[in-house]
Amino acid sequence: MSSFSQTPLFLLLGLLLSCFAFLAAFVICLRRVRRGYEARLRLLAERERVATGLHDTLLQSMQGLILRIQGVGHRLAADSPERLTIERILDQADDVLAEGRHQILALRMPVVYGDNLSQALAAIGQSLQDNFNIPFRMLVGGEQAFIDGDRGEEIYAIAREALYNAFQHAQAATIELELVYGCEFFLVYVRDDGKGMAQPPRGLAGMRERAARLGGTLEVLSLPEQGTEVILKVPGEVCYQSPRKSGWQQRLAAWLGRTEAGS
């Protein structure tokens, strides 16, 4: 006579318990992910509130003060020492104002997840175009893929910094952003036709640190009066949510599909 542990009922109960345990673990993980996502949303909402407050109060007030000082300076003789001093102060104030806008831009980081990385970058490019009045265009190559959320935010931060540098310092006629969804690598190109760089752009060390955390590389190419190109290269296996098929794999899958359809 077989023991109870060897009966089909025992095996069925064991299978049911395993299913319940797996389901419970899945629910716990799902709740943890949801709590993390909700916490991120709360943080971003608070950052947006702070950014809006800074823009609507501090920067607007500072802009008003700059205009009033300019009005005073225009009443002085063009060659007076006082007017030259005021103009130097106003130049410094413009730099501070530009830095303030940049910091507000950094606070307003959207939730980047899945397939909305390209939309988020298009939005920041459009915003910079409106602020600096420099034409911007965006190109997307390859078959778009879902980007991992944390990696997407790092990629967004790097591209945003590169775009801001181009709009702020390149003195360009046009600025271009290109995303390439390759099989092995995801690439981001930020190009301008400006004056080129005499020295490394601001934030370059931080951009390279972010790229290194992604297992990728960041390269800056620049020629005087011919423009600058920033190239971010991230392994696809790091940033894509699901593996991409290489060219021969795609052709093989298509050939197998045709074979099965014809059989």
Over its length of 263 residues, how does the chain's per-residue pLDDT go in tens digits?
Answer: 456 566 777 677 778 888 888 888 888 877 876 776 666 666 666 666 666 666 667 667 777 777 888 888 888 887 888 888 888 888 877 777 776 766 666 655 555 655 578 888 998 899 889 888 999 999 999 988 888 877 888 899 899 989 989 998 899 999 999 999 998 999 999 999 999 987 777 778 889 999 999 999 999 999 988 999 999 999 999 999 876 655 555 455 444 444 444 44
Whether residue 216 contacts residue 228, with contact meaning beta carbons closer than 8 Å, is answered with no
Boundary residue ending a domain (74, 108, 142): 108
Q: Same structural domain for residues 100 and 55? A: yes
Is residue 78 within 8 Å of residue 29, measured between CB atoms?
A: no
Let me know whether 94 and 191 are in one domain: no
Domain that holds residue 66: 1-108
Is 179 within 8 Å of 118 (Cβ atoms)? yes
Task: Please say which residue of 108, 139, 156 terminates a domain.
Answer: 108
Residues 148, 247, single domain; the answer is yes
Please tell me whether the overall predicted TM-score, pTM, comes out greater than 0.75 for this model: no
Minimal CA–CA distance to 238: which of 154, 142, 119?
A: 154
Q: Is the domain of 176 the same as that of 248?
A: yes
Same domain? 75 vs 150? no
Please state the domain count of the chain. 2
Helix (H) or strand (E) holding 27, with range, is helix 8-53
Residue whose structure tokens are 């049911």: 16
Residue for token pair 């690598």: 185
